[in-house]
Amino acid sequence: MANKNPFIVITGASAGIGAACAEAFSRQNSRLILGARRTQTLEQQKAKLLELGAHSVDCISLDVSQDQSSNNFCEEVLQLTQGNIDALINNAGLAIGTDHLSKGDLSEWQTVIDTNITGVLRVTRGLLPAMIESKSGHLFFLSSIAAHQVYEGGSVYCATKHAVKALAKTLKLELNGTGIRVTTIDPGMVETEFSVVRFRGNQSKADQTYAGMTPLTAKDIAECVQFAYQRPQHLNIDEMILMPTDQATVYKVHRR
């Protein structure tokens, strides 16, 4: 059975799927610990989350691409929870550009890798020992259909999401017998700030991504995370692949 007021830790919680997860878990009286670079945005969300039913909301500065920021975040989380973490939702992630590999920018690649792979490793490594000691908790990895399929212009992003899938599968082996559950959530097209970041702030290009079709919403994904978390302890959902009805693969999308 889930704890009455679970400690739910969410990275990248200031917008998109992370913010939607915070709202979803607020409704079950969770004690939320939210990490993001935009702490002011987190603080602005706090009143709404408490109104929705959150037991408590702690907002902590977090840049998962930086060692010191990640270390500080994990130390504060451990102090707040006394090591009793019910769920860690590794949500922070991004893509930059759609260049073919031969024309890619090395510095942008490094940012994507530091966030999507090393960032996940930093936070998971910082909090996992406490979860192992308590023999409880649920690890979530917010990944992508790009963990299963590849497409032109997505080489590095797809590689990072394939890596996250491998990390999760390895953790399933390493954590067997600890009681810790491990779930990857792999959605297709979700309309969030993701495409704005990918197109380096070009809102028009981001809007074109979803033109003529109905994408998933951040709320859709958050509800699936919550569903997996709420299953009885003996049941683990290894992975969930979530696609808009209009999207058959990463490259085949029905547009009206």
The mean pLDDT value of the chain amounts to 96
Quick one: pLDDT at residue 1?
Answer: 43
The CA distance from 153 to 180, in Å, is 36
One-letter amino acid identity for 41?
T
Mean pLDDT within 67-91? 98
Quick one: pLDDT at residue 119?
Answer: 98
Q: Where does residue 115 rank: exposed (0-12), middle (13-18), buried (19+ CB within 10 A)? A: buried
In a domain? residue 115? yes
Mean pLDDT within 212-241? 97
Quick one: pLDDT at residue 178?
Answer: 98
In a domain? residue 48? yes
In a domain? residue 212? yes
pTM, two decimal places: 0.95
Is the model's pLDDT at 193 over the cut of 90? no
Mean pLDDT within 198-227? 94
Question: How far is C-alpha 240 from the chain's CA centre?
Answer: 13
pLDDT tens digit sequence for 110-121: 999 999 999 999
In a domain? residue 102? yes
Catalytic residues: 157
Q: What percent of the chain has pLDDT over 70?
A: 99
Confidence bin at 4 (pLDDT 50/70/90) = confident
Dihedral angle, C-alpha 11, 13, 15, 19, nearest 10 °: 130
CATH number of domain containing 204: 3.40.50.720
In a domain? residue 180? yes
In a domain? residue 249? no
The boundaries of the domain holding residue 81 are 7-242
In a domain? residue 251? no
| Inter-residue contact 137 to 86 (CB < 8 Å) | yes
Confidence bin at 24 (pLDDT 50/70/90) = very high
Q: What percent of the chain has pLDDT over 90?
A: 94
Quick one: pLDDT at residue 3?
Answer: 76
Mean pLDDT within 75-99? 97
Domain count, the chain: 1
In a domain? residue 57? yes
Quick one: pLDDT at residue 198?
Answer: 92
